Amino acid sequence: MNAPLRKAGVVVLVMFGLLFGNLNWVQGYKADEYRTSDYNRRVTVAEYERPRGIIEADGEPLAENKATDGTLKYLRVYPDKQLYAPVIGYKPVNNAETGIERSEDEFLAGTSDKLFADRLSDMFTGDNTGGGNVVLTLSTRAQEVAWKELTGNERGVAKGAAVALDPRTGAVQALVSMPSYDPNPLASHDEKTFQSAFKKLNEDRDKPLLNRAIGDTKPPGSTMKVLIAAAALQNGYTQQTEIQAGSSYTPPGSGAPIRNAEDEVCPGSRITLKEALTESCNTGFAQLGVKLGADAVKNTAQAFGFGQTDLTVGNLDGGGLPVAASQTGEMANPDGSPDQAALAQSSIGQRDVRMTPLQGAMIAATVANGGKQMRPYLVQQLLSPERRPIYNANPKTLRTPITAQVAADLREMMVSVVENGTGRRARINGFEVGGKTGTAQNAEGASPHGWFIGFAYNDKGEAVSAVCVMLENVSGGHASAVAAQISGLIMRAAAGRGGD
């Protein structure tokens, strides 16, 4: 064989070797990626060959399917539009799911290992059953009341959130974010419809796609005083311990005085801890925080869940909607020494303190549950396509930040806030209600945020609901008063008494 033929033969062998290697690379390593790629139209068509599982609450479908005569056989439909969108999310054709549609995607699609037996049965019967069904913890009545009251609030506030929990289990009874959005166009089979709807929502300055209940943090104002009171009670104080107060307090190292919301609030030099919480005494809690020290304040907040970056709300066995971490801020000078001015402001929920509404509800729930904080969850059950139970939520304790005695003291003090102090509008006939209001200053010249965290016990002494309502930039009057009233209505609905 002459030299040119030998060279040609070597080249051919090398090319065959490369081709063989590439084939094995594709089959052995890249097959899964190509099979599940958003650009693989056959995968998309196959996914829509059978109906996706239903998401439901109280027996009502919140996400279901509509048969079509197109290439994609089923269209995802959301009957209640804006009401549940922050929880459920949406299922677009390009597989970029959000919310529960994302966290429970495999089960809803029928591809989860939990449904292996059902898929195996289909192979023998020839059936093409749908995906698994997800049952949520939400009380549809509480959710409807929360949405109605938030969107129709008396001050015309356009942005806010509400969360209600069962203090005994952590089950989410209501979770509302305002403004919300209609997920139906985002599930459209028409790419232009999806792109247009998403672009409009994504560019909206009010951020309707943001879940404010769990994904956004704001200064909590005087609701922070519950944590400062908890720190004091755990460090030897009692409800009747007198703390320093007064009409004005200027922290060391600061030229900016802290004053109370009104002149008649704790004008005297001393006030009991219980009275200070009842009246929401800024000067008292600012001085108390400074006396306790930054470590005590930060450690107590951390014990309640501040700083946790890995919390999700969904399935207790893993997965769910990610929760933004609440933060206290550093409260220190550049050289590391305590910044008492920052500590004083932080102790009344200002400066760098930031909190999610979910965290606020968890604080109230912890007090109502005797000091034990349950992990919040949204998924109550997973059902097979034939509605056979696959999973039932088993409530889990997340942490125990305070003792039962401290919780009992805080409960009594927070009841006093509603009965005698700033939270009167949260009262519910037939229930013992406790809570704490909060008015938080934010951007200069902007109206304050209004907060309320609280809980309700029924006439059997059972803690039936814990809630947090936050309204952004409330103009006119006490910003927290509207939040307190809405909170009471949500808890009454969650307890089964309606919301009218």
Q: What is the pLDDT along the chain (500 residues), one digit of tens a residue?
A: 566 666 666 666 767 666 666 656 555 555 455 555 554 455 677 788 889 999 999 999 999 999 999 999 999 999 999 999 999 999 999 879 999 999 999 999 999 988 876 666 665 555 667 899 999 999 999 999 999 999 999 999 999 999 999 999 999 999 999 999 999 999 999 999 999 999 999 999 999 999 999 999 999 999 999 999 999 999 999 999 999 999 999 998 877 899 999 989 999 999 999 999 999 999 999 999 999 999 999 999 999 999 999 999 999 998 899 999 999 999 999 888 889 999 999 999 999 999 999 999 999 999 999 999 999 999 999 999 999 999 999 999 999 999 999 999 999 999 999 999 999 999 999 999 999 999 999 888 889 999 999 999 999 999 999 999 999 999 887 889 999 999 999 999 999 865 44
β-bridge mates for residue 244, sequence order: 270
Residue 302 lies in a domain: yes
Residue 468 lies in a domain: yes
Residue 64 lies in a domain: no
Q: Compute the distance between CA of residue 324 and CA of residue 317 in angstroms, rounded to an integer.
A: 20
Domain residues for the domain of 445 are 221-378+397-494
Q: Compute the distance between CA of residue 378 and CA of residue 158 in angstroms, rounded to an integer.
A: 26
Q: What is the CATH number of the domain that holds 422?
A: 3.40.710.10
β-bridge mates for residue 467, sequence order: 164, 454
CB atoms within 10 A of CB 152: 9
Residue 160 lies in a domain: no
**8 Å CB contact between 196 and 182:** no
Residue 304 lies in a domain: yes
Residue 82 lies in a domain: no
Q: Which of 103, 188, 222, 384 is catalytic?
A: 222
Q: Could you give the number of structural domains in the chain? A: 1
Residue 102 lies in a domain: no
Encoding tokens for residue 58? 């109280």
For residue 483, the Cα-to-chain-centroid distance in whole angstroms is: 17
Cα diameter, the chain? 111
Alpha helices (H) along 235-279:
273-279
- Residue 177 is a catalytic residue: no
Residue 450 lies in a domain: yes
Preceding omega of 179 cis (within 30 degrees of 0): yes
Q: Compute the distance between CA of residue 468 and CA of residue 454 in angstroms, rounded to an integer.
A: 7
Residue type, 200: K
Q: Compute the distance between CA of residue 289 and CA of residue 353 in angstroms, rounded to an integer.
A: 13
